[in-house]
Every structure is written in C-alpha cells, then in structure tokens.
Amino acid sequence: MIDLRGKRALVTGASRGIGKSCALRLAELGADVAINFLSSADEAAEVVRAIHGLGRRSFAVRADVAQRDDAVAMIQAVEERFEGIDIVVSNVAAGGFRPASDLTPASFESTIRTNSAAVLWLVQAAADSLAKSSYQGKVIAVSSHGSMWAVPNYAAIGASKAALESLIRHLALEYGPRGINFNCVLPGIVATDAVATMPDVDNILKAAHARMMLGERTLTANDVSDVVAFLASPLSDLIQGQTLVVDGGVSIRV
C-alpha cells in the first residue's frame, strides 16, 4: 500500500482530466494537494472540495505556468500554505492540433513554453523545498505518445513533449544528487476533454483500442494516476530520469 500521509503535492492542470485524477489519487493516499488551474476556476474548486472530503488539505491556485513569474509565485504560495512541498506533478499541456505547415512562431513557442519550459521554472523555484523532503522530493511530468511517434496534426505538441522528456533526464542528472527524483509518465490515448478536440477523434480512439492488449478494457485517467502515485512514493526511489509508458501495449505493436 502506498502511503503519502504527510506529503505535500502540487498538480498543475488539475481541474479536469488526467490532472484531476492525479490530484484525487494523491489525496486518497494521504497527501495534501494544491490544485493549479488557469481558466477552469469552478472545476478547480470542485476538486478542492473533493479533497477536503477525503480529510486532506487543499486549495486552488491560478497560474500560467508558461510564465516564469507565475510559476515561481505559485510555488511560493504552496510552500507558505503547506510549509514545504514534496511532490510536483507537471500535467498541464497546451497546443492546438494543426499541421506543421500551419504553425506560427507564436503558437509553436507558446506550446514549448507551456509543455516544456514550465517544468524548468517549477523545479528552479521548488528545488530547495523538494531537497528537504523527509524521503526524496518527487517531480513527475506527463508526456504523450507524440514525443516518440508521429501523430497527425501533432507536430508542436509532440516536439514539446520530446523536449520535456529530455529536460526531465537532464534535471535528474543535475538535481538527483540533492535527493530529488525525476520521471515522466507517457500515457496512451485517454478520452479527456483535451483529446476530444483532436480531429477525427472517434477513429483515433477506436484505432488505439484495437491495438491494446487488455481485451475489452480501455485506458482511463485513473490508470495514469496510479502510475503517477507510484512515482510519487518511496517505492520508485531508484527509478530516475525514466519515461514509463502506460498505454496497454499500443506502442509495442509493429
């Protein structure tokens, strides 16, 4: 049984989808959880209430993690409310589904800032607190299939997620000696609000399900959050700088 009692966590993009599932799972296992959101204030408040119902501390904090000043201020707010921070889950993601030929400098750079650079700003701000964790500080980033495989209309997001995974490895190298653990979770296609905006999403979901090796079972946000919880626990202390794929075997088929 994973026990996160006494741990203090921040989950970005936690008002819905995978981020919400991660926040609730960490709270179920005993952690106090700060809920980051940018525009979904009502949904974030619902997650906070659910965590309070589990007997854990929680609050919502609005921040655009692509902006370094926002990210730093958010970490400071969490440290003040929780008197430290032990776990950071970087789940927030941005970027429209469009062909590479249609990308503009502004849209591409915005996607990179949100999906990749945000982790750097969070780690720079939280490193001292993470290093003081009673076990190891934990940083878990959520990647996607597009980091390794070509996905239609996914050039900006895929490139940003590949950069994210590389950044996590380099952060592990630099901050690992301070007792901070860095890893990525790479989920397959999960039917979230974000995925619903993908072109031809119904056929994409059907194709992914056909390639899974779990019979009739489909991949859910809870499958992803269970792996995040494992990586947030002492059970994963010797897993460092890795990307764990959670897709039911979709990606191993030729």
CB 236 within 8 A of CB 182: no
Residue ranges of domains in the chain: 8-189+220-245
Q: What are the CA-CA distances from residue 165 to residues 42, 120, 159 (Å)?
A: 31, 12, 10
CATH class of the domain defined by 8-189+220-245: alpha beta
Active-site annotation holder among 138, 154, 175, 206: 154
Q: What are phi and psi of 219, to 5 degrees?
A: -75, 135
> Looking at per-residue confidence, does 22 or 97 come out higher?
22
Active-site annotation holder among 7, 20, 138, 161: 161
The whole-number pLDDT of residue 30 equals 98
The whole-number pLDDT of residue 196 equals 47
**Catalytic residue check, 132:** no
Tokens of 150: 């070509």
Q: Name 84's Cβ contacts closer than 8 Å, sequence gap at least 6.
A: 8, 129, 132, 133
**Is the confidence at residue 68, as pLDDT, over 50?**
yes
**Across 32-39, average pLDDT:** 98
Gap between the Cα atoms of 112 and 21, Å rounded = 24
Whether the model clears a pTM of 0.85, i.e. scores above it, the answer is yes
**Catalytic residue check, 20:** no
Gap between the Cα atoms of 34 and 76, Å rounded = 12
Q: In residues, how long is the chain?
A: 254
